Amino acid sequence: MVYYVFDLLYADGYDLRGVPLIERKDFLRRILLPEDPVRYSSHVVGDGEALFKLARERGLEGIVGKQARAPTPPGVAPSG
């Protein structure tokens, strides 16, 4: 089994919710090993509506959309 992750809210005792998404993703990408069953899920910058339409056309469930420079809003609990 391979598990793809696209965000990291908590790591090694540190709450990362106040860190912008783009920085959390970069950190996540750097800590995962290529042979690890947990894999980094890249992102697409641009027209989210077109990407969502394409996902629907291909029978996918949907997409996750976030603002690249935004921290995670208050009230979202980190796991770990």
Helices (H), 16-62: 21-31, 48-57
Confidence of residue 43 (pLDDT cuts 50, 70, 90): confident
User: What is the number of domains present in the chain?
Assistant: 1
Residue 41 identity: S
Residue 15 domain-assigned? yes
Give pLDDT, residue 72. Answer: 76
Residue 78 domain-assigned? no
Residue 11 domain-assigned? yes
Q: Which domain holds residue 34?
A: 3-57
Global confidence as pTM: 0.69
Residue 76 domain-assigned? no
Q: What's the token pair of residue 14?
A: 């540190």
Residue 65 domain-assigned? no
pLDDT tens, 44-57? 888 888 989 999 99
